[in-house]
Amino acid sequence: MVAEIIEISTLAYNKTRFYTIKVEGRRSSEFSDFNHRMQMQQETVKADWKSLQGFLRLIKEKHGAQSTYFDNDRSTEKLPYCCFIEMGKSDPHGIRIYCLRISDTILLVLNGDQRTELHIEDCPNCYTHFEFAKKLDGIFDQAIREGKIRIDVETKTLIKREDFQILL
């Protein structure tokens, strides 16, 4: 499966550029799918999702993607870029969205769901999104090490070598 990185144009650059991933053959991108599903949830989850949107807006417009705003647990703490934001306390846990934080100015927002279990390995909602983020983390780590993906320091954009493809 090939996946492409797309800049989220409705979240225009201010402090941080937002990107997401669209897997070939899927109707929508990861972030779009997340938002679409959260909109359909019951009110308590929806309230957490709205707060998460506000949080992302503050990252984009004012504070930047500082590492301190992202959570890690034993599943993500050893991965170079993968992290998550967990918002609220919808019964029994909040909603979680996985991200790849490349720098303070470059953030890939991926997918997530309401966490239902203490450990992510046991959560049927979030585990697949974690696995996806973990896989991408490995791909990005290697591509950045090999110079296939870089940050243009002037424009603070993500750039890639012509022949680079994300193969999942």
Residue ranges that bind another protein, judged by CB under 8 A: 5-11, 19, 28-29, 31-32, 35, 50-51, 53-58, 60, 62-63, 66, 68-72, 87, 150, 152, 155, 157-162
Nearer to another protein, 37 or 135 (CB): 37
Which residues are CB-neighbours of 33 under 8 A, at least 6 positions away? 26, 111
DSSP code of residue 80 = S
Nearer to another protein, 105 or 131 (CB): 105
Query: Three-state secondary structure along 17-37?
Result: EEEEEEECCCCCCHHHHHHHH
- The β-bridge partners of 149 are 160
Q: Is the dihedral of CA 101, 135, 149, 111 positive or negative?
A: negative
Nearer to another protein, 80 or 131 (CB): 80
Q: Find the shortest distance in angstroms from Cβ 12 to another protein.
A: 9
Q: Find the shortest distance in angstroms from Cβ 64 to another protein.
A: 9
C-alpha span between 33 and 40 (Å, rounded):
11
Q: Find the shortest distance in angstroms from Cβ 38 to another protein.
A: 10
Nearer to another protein, 5 or 131 (CB): 5
Phi first, then psi: what are they for 20, rounded to 5°? -145, -175
Q: Find the shortest distance in angstroms from Cβ 155 to another protein.
A: 8
